[in-house]
Copies of this chain bind each other. A is one copy, B any other.
């Protein structure tokens, strides 16, 4: 039986928000496995804002996806055939397969690693226990350098990264103020995640809301949004404040990112700029194991809560991807590519 792989490739580079024509769906037979290789059937595909950057022709910290290349992406799946002692048929793994339904991995690729869905649900290895969770973990603890009693403002507080940042900050005994879009998300952030406050940026009056929520000023701003929120936060930063920059989604669909006001402009142009720096979770790869262990423990024990929006069908990934830019997803956005037997 020959398996058929469905893959979504970049047909052309988007100008602004990606449209259907920027993608092409291709089918191809899954090639024969070579020694040392592993065939993975993809179950869940993670959709993350950083993917938009890979669709542009500018080289950033990573090479762009070439025209005709499979869109970059992490997935969780199951090994269905193994020509390696390292992986066994039936084992669950995470891997950087990209947007496709099957993936052939090399046994010595350190980004292909086993996960245990008996411990926490398989999908969470793409969210709270995966790359977004690790981004929150290292971004807050290593880049943000939090101290008990400080005030942190967390952008995209109901999102995959922000929700974890805030919950870890709570464990570190900071005053935690989230910012999210709409009353439903804000209620969840306050009541379920236990943030001290959550500001609805859609309600306007950001300056007043921030001043009220942060009576002692802002010591850490966890940045993943940019734009108007960053401008408002910039006015209320304390001396010695830290701004770890995970991303700035509000600029990602600008025709030219270089023509928008990024957080580097906003914070860099202040009279007394805070420490602010873009960080790559990949720099912490040698410590991923420690972070994953802690995150899965916290999730298994209920100390960290999470929410997922799981949508159906690889072919629909391009449409769902744009949800990220409209705040349409609630929590981690994941595409179900195949049934989850775990």
Chain A residues proximal to chain B, CB less than 8 Å: 35-36, 82-86, 88-89, 107-108, 110, 113-114, 116, 286-290, 292-293
Contact = CB atoms under 8 A, between A and B. Distances in A.
A133 to B, nearest CB: 13
A89 B293 CA distance: 9
16 contacts: A35-B286, A82-B289, A82-B293, A83-B286, A83-B289, A85-B110, A85-B289, A85-B292, A86-B86, A86-B110, A86-B113, A86-B114, A88-B114, A89-B293, A107-B110, A108-B110
Q: SS class of chain A's interface: helix, strand, loop or mixed?
A: loop
A41 B224 CA distance: 43
A113 B83 CA distance: 13
- Counted per complex, copies of this chain come to 2
Given A82-B289, A86-B114, 10 more contacts: A35-B289, A36-B286, A83-B289, A85-B110, A85-B289, A86-B86, A86-B110, A88-B114, A108-B108, A108-B110
* Residue from A85, A107, A108, A293 having most chain B Cβ neighbours under 10 A: A85
A116 B289 CA distance: 21
A289 B84 contact: yes
Contacts of A89: 293
